[in-house]
Structure 1
Amino acid sequence: MERQALIQALEAAFARLADARDAGHDVHHARRVRDNAMRIADREGGDRVVLLAAAYLHDLVSPPKDSPDRARASALSAEAAGPVLRELGLDEERVAGAQHAIHAHSFSAGVETKTIEARILQDADRLEALGAIGVARTFYTAGLMNSAMFDADDPFAASRPLDDRRYALDHFAAKLLKLPATMKTEAGRALAEERLGVMRAFLDAIAAELGVAAGW
């Protein structure tokens, strides 16, 4: 199938099957992950059909962040993607490759990335948690979870444990600032470091506005 036709078919499948009420995991997120994956693949290689399929369907099943099923989301998405990809005419090798990439991309799943496509998808998705979009998604998700923006008395957790379920700002130190070190490809790591600079500039700015020292 020609690339644009495949993209249209994958977007139609996403619209039909995905629960896109969470704007952090809607088709626009899938498109950005697609573009990140293609950017990385320009330097790292990989099967672009597998990457397109995995990018669009990696959040096909997306339970809320506080759901007990959250850790199984990537496994459930990989399972749901199989019939979709076979219906689109992908051969079994590519179906399996896309399913592995989908299953392994998740931070919480703890699945080894055994292929270049899996490593690229994981990096492409983690880039969404960094930079200006990462800042926006952090506070958007905090709103969905009824979390506070920050602890007004100790915004950078100088004298308390981090609690990123209670405070959105804590999520930067608890997870986001550590992401560049977890990237599996050189291209992904370079993009992550660029976006980390944007995120650190935001943290410096919010610290200045609050009149405190940025602790991270």
Structure 2
Amino acid sequence: MIPEFRTALVDFIHREAKPADKYGHQPRLYELTRQIGKSLEYDDDVVFAAVWLHDLGVFVGHRPEDPSELARWDHVSYICRQAPGILNRIGFPNEKIAAVLDAIREHQPQDEPTSLEATILRDADILEQLGAIGILRTVSKVGRDTRFQTFTHAIKTLQKHLDTLPAKIRLQSTKDLALPRISELRSFLEAVRSEAGENLF
């Protein structure tokens, strides 16, 4: 039986995720955490809550709209302030909230995770930045995100992901899942260079 807080959390994020394509990241990410953690012992409630809440601060309505403010925006600090109230309202176990906050604080590639739950979330989030999904998520932001004014900006970001993210993966199960994604991203970037040459804008 699915705990009520899980359904409530999914419903909350489904309502808040704007633009609408922001919603897909959460269910995909949770499925990746399950694949990564299949043979590991960890608190799935903590991972579930961290997965569904970690990006609240990047949704329209939660982030600043002014470009200069957005450039300085710390979405992790925002959700860490908001999460305890949200989790309490939906009946999430109070004794697990601190672990959820730790996982969210440590989920980005540059972070050093201090728990298995944070490591699983961080590894899964790295996977989402590789392969076909990583390409879709990045290229879809061209023209609507201040970081991606042109295709060239998107390609530079994807190349940086390919060059740096695989080495940051911690768990062997994640490394195995990453192999085809790395290959897909490398092939895509090679195809872009072949087709566009010096004329990609």
Report the TM-score range of the alignment, normalised by the length of the smaller protein. Answer: 0.7 to 0.9
Can you list the C-alpha shifts for 1:116-151, whole angstroms capped at 9, x where unaligned?
00011111112111110111111112332352113x
Can you list the C-alpha shifts for 1:62-109, whole angstroms capped at 9, x where unaligned?
147x62343x211211221111212232333311111111111124xx
1:30 equivalenced with 2:16 (yes/no): no
Q: Which amino acid aligns with 2:71?
A: P
| Structure 2 match to 1:206 | 192
1:125 equivalenced with 2:121 (yes/no): no
RMSD: 2.3
- The alignment partner of 2:11 has SS state of helix
Q: Report matched runs for 1:61-140 at 5 Å.
A: 61-62=57-58, 63=63, 67-70=70-73, 72-107=74-109, 110-140=110-140
Q: 1:182 to 1:20 in 2, by over 3 A?
A: same
| Structure 2 match to 1:53 | 49
TM-score (norm 1): 0.77
Q: Is the 8 A contact 2:29 2:51 kept in 1?
A: yes
- The alignment partner of 2:83 has SS state of helix
Structure 1 range deviating more: 139-148 or 125-134: 139-148
- The alignment partner of 2:42 has SS state of coil
Q: Is the 8 A contact 2:130 2:162 kept in 1?
A: yes
1:195 equivalenced with 2:197 (yes/no): no
Q: Is the 8 A contact 1:180 1:192 kept in 2?
A: yes
| Structure 1 match to 2:6 | 7
| Structure 2 match to 1:20 | 18
Q: How many residues align?
A: 189
Gaps of 5+ in 1: 151-166
Counterpart CA distance in 1 for 2:106 and 2:20 is 21
Counterpart CA distance in 1 for 2:3 and 2:142 is 35
Q: Is the 8 A contact 2:33 2:121 kept in 1?
A: yes
- The alignment partner of 1:135 has SS state of helix
TM-score (norm 2): 0.83
Q: Is the 8 A contact 2:47 2:121 kept in 1?
A: yes
Counterpart CA distance in 2 for 1:149 and 1:39 is 32
Counterpart CA distance in 2 for 1:132 and 1:56 is 21
